[in-house]
Chains A and B, each alone.
Chain A
Amino acid sequence: MSEMLFDPLFQLPLLTGLLLAGLLPVLGALAMLRDEWLAALGLAHLASASALLGQVLGVPALIGATLGALGGGAIKTFLAARGNIAYAFMILAGWSATLLIGANTALGEQLARSLVEGQLYFAGIAELAAGLLLLALCIRYLPRLMRPVLRARFFPRYETANRLAAWRWHLGLDLLTAGGLAIGTLTLGLMGTFALVLVPAWIAFRLAPSWRWTLIGASLTGVVGYLLAFVAALELDQPFGPVLVGGLLGPALLTGWLGRPARIG
Chain B
Amino acid sequence: MCASDPRPLLQLDALVAGYARPVVGPVSLRLARGEVLGLWGPNGTGKSTLLKAIGRSARVFSGCIELESGATLAHLDQQPVRLPAMPVTGRELLRAAGARPEEPERPGRLPDVLAPLLKRRIDRLSGGQYQLLWVWSALATGADLILLDEPTNNLDPANRAALIEILGRERDGRGVLIVSHDHDFLERVCSRLFEARDTGLVEVRTARGPES
- With A147-B95, A160-B55, A208-B87 in contact, is A153–B124 under 8 Å at CB? no
B75 touches A264 (CB 8 A): no
Type the 1/0 row for B47-85, where 1 means its CB is closer than 8 Å to any CB of A.
000000001110000000000000011111100111111
A154 → B minimal CB distance (Å): 5
CB closest residue in chain B, given A263: B123
Contact for B80 among A151, A154, A204, CB less than 8 A: A154
Contact for A161 among B75, B81, B134, CB less than 8 A: B75
A150 touches B96 (CB 8 A): yes
CA–CA, A60 and B125, complex, Å: 51
Q: Does B33 contact A (CB under 8 A)?
A: no
A195 → B minimal CB distance (Å): 18
Contact for B121 among A151, A154, A155, A210, CB less than 8 A: A210
A40 → B minimal CB distance (Å): 17
Q: Provide the residues of chain A in CB contact with B88, threshold 8 Å.
A: 150, 154, 210-211
A210 touches B92 (CB 8 A): yes
Q: Provide the residues of chain A in CB contact with B57, threshold 8 Å.
A: 157, 160-161
- With A160-B55, A211-B92 in contact, is A265–B128 under 8 Å at CB? yes
B95 touches A206 (CB 8 A): no
Type the 1/0 row for B115-133, where 1 means its CB is closer than 8 Å to any CB of A.
0000001011111110000
B73 touches A161 (CB 8 A): yes
Q: Does A209 contact B (CB under 8 A)?
A: yes
- With A263-B82, A264-B124 in contact, is A162–B98 under 8 Å at CB? no
CA–CA, A264 and B81, complex, Å: 15
CB closest residue in chain B, given A35: B83
Contact for B56 among A160, A208, A214, CB less than 8 A: A160
Contact for A158 among B75, B85, B95, B121, CB less than 8 A: B75
Q: Provide the residues of chain B in CB contact with A161, threshold 8 Å.
A: 55-57, 73-75, 147
Q: Provide the residues of chain B in CB contact with A265, threshold 8 Å.
A: 125-129
A149 → B minimal CB distance (Å): 9
CA–CA, A187 and B39, complex, Å: 58
Q: Does A156 contact B (CB under 8 A)?
A: yes
Contacting residues of chain B (87-126) with chain A, CB-CB under 8 angstroms: 87-89, 92-93, 95-98, 121, 123-126
B75 touches A157 (CB 8 A): yes
A240 → B minimal CB distance (Å): 29
Q: Does A163 contact B (CB under 8 A)?
A: yes
B74 touches A262 (CB 8 A): no
- With A154-B81, A157-B57, A205-B87 in contact, is A264–B125 under 8 Å at CB? yes
**Residue of A163, A204, A209, A210 most packed against chain B (CB within 10 A):** A210
Contacting residues of chain A (1-52) with chain B, CB-CB under 8 angstroms: 35
A206 touches B85 (CB 8 A): yes
B15 → A minimal CB distance (Å): 16
- With A155-B96, A161-B55, A161-B73 in contact, is A210–B89 under 8 Å at CB? yes
Contacting residues of chain A (40-82) with chain B, CB-CB under 8 angstroms: none
Q: Does A212 contact B (CB under 8 A)?
A: yes
CA–CA, A264 and B82, complex, Å: 12
CA–CA, A38 and B160, complex, Å: 39
CA–CA, A206 and B82, complex, Å: 14
CB closest residue in chain B, given A152: B96
Among all A-B residue pairs, the 8 with the closest Cβ atoms: A265-B126, A150-B96, A161-B73, A161-B55, A157-B75, A214-B87, A205-B85, A161-B75
**20 additional contacts (CB under 8 A) given A158-B74, A158-B97, A161-B74:** A151-B97, A153-B81, A153-B96, A154-B81, A154-B97, A155-B97, A155-B137, A157-B57, A160-B56, A161-B56, A161-B57, A161-B73, A204-B87, A206-B85, A210-B92, A211-B88, A211-B92, A263-B84, A264-B126, A265-B125
A-B contact pairs, 6 of them (CB 8 A): A155-B76, A155-B97, A155-B137, A162-B73, A206-B85, A210-B121
Chain B residues proximal to chain A, CB less than 8 Å: 55-57, 72-77, 80-89, 92-93, 95-98, 121, 123-129, 134, 137-138, 147
Chain A residues proximal to chain B, CB less than 8 Å: 35, 147, 150-151, 153-158, 160-163, 204-206, 208-214, 262-265
